[in-house]
Chains A and B, each alone.
Chain A
Amino acid sequence: EDKVVQSPLSLVVHEGDTVTLNCSYEVTNFRSLLWYKQEKKAPTFLFMLTSSGIEKKSGRLSSILDKKELFSILNITATQTGDSAVYLCAVGKNSGGSNYKLTFGKGTLLTVNP
């Protein structure tokens, strides 16, 4: 059975700290790994990673994928209270060329205190 495991399950930091969130997976026919930020509303798309070793960056957030070791990390530098959310990792399978069936981890709850 496909599995996506995120760690830690929750994390409390102070503003300005740097955090690293982890995601490991066991999925047949891997195609891509996606990161989402979920506040009280919709999961918001952050990154999609398909190749090992290529860092994706967006402002203070960055992510990288290791397809050999089957994991990804999401880094957030200089955290702000607005970064408080659940961060979801999802893996897409290569089903006939498509990427639609995402398997999600349970998420990491990040709390950034002022």
Chain B
Amino acid sequence: NAGVMQNPRHLVRRRGQEARLRCSPMKGHSHVYWYRQLPEEGLKFMVYLQKENIIDESGMPKERFSAEFPKEGPSILRIQQVVRGDSAAYFCASSPSSTGGAFFGQGTRLTVV
């Protein structure tokens, strides 16, 4: 049973470009969460999605960031017009229910140059 799969592992974007980060949850998991880890800081919750629904996006910046989890395919975290401050590790996690422990992917390290 493969774990949570994220790609790409590393992504370099120039300021103003778009970044698309993908996350395939573990088999049987329909709950997906995105977290961001800035240098020297802990993981911060961004958004919680179930299939085709955003349940809680209270941790998402109001502009430029969006997330989706379509009926088919991976969850996508999209960052438009990236800025240097978006450079961070973005982790996706999944769980089989909303009350269980979440399992994390290996993260995507975004570098904005």
Instruction: Please give the residue numbers on chain A whose beta carbons come within 8 Å of chain B beta carbons, in ascending order.
Output: 4, 31, 34, 36, 41-45, 48, 88, 90, 95, 97-107
Measured in the bound complex, the distance between the Cα atoms of B95 and A41 in whole Å is 18
A36-B104, A100-B95, A106-B40 are known contacts; what are 12 more A-B pairs with Cβ within 8 Å?
A43-B91, A45-B102, A45-B103, A45-B104, A88-B43, A97-B98, A98-B99, A100-B102, A101-B56, A102-B43, A104-B35, A105-B42
Instruction: Please give the residue numbers on chain B whose beta carbons come within 8 Å of chain A beta carbons, in ascending order.
Output: 3-4, 31, 33, 35, 40-45, 48, 55-56, 58-59, 91, 95, 98-107
B42 near A42: Cβ-Cβ < 8 Å: no
Other-chain contact of B33, A31, A36, A100 (Cβ < 8 Å): A100
Known contacts A36-B104, A41-B106, A45-B103; A100/B41 CB under 8 A: no
Measured in the bound complex, the distance between the Cα atoms of B102 and A101 in whole Å is 10
Measured in the bound complex, the distance between the Cα atoms of B45 and A103 in whole Å is 7
The prevalent SS among residues of A at the interface is strand
B60 to chain A, nearest CB (A): 12
A34 near B101: Cβ-Cβ < 8 Å: yes
A100 near B42: Cβ-Cβ < 8 Å: no
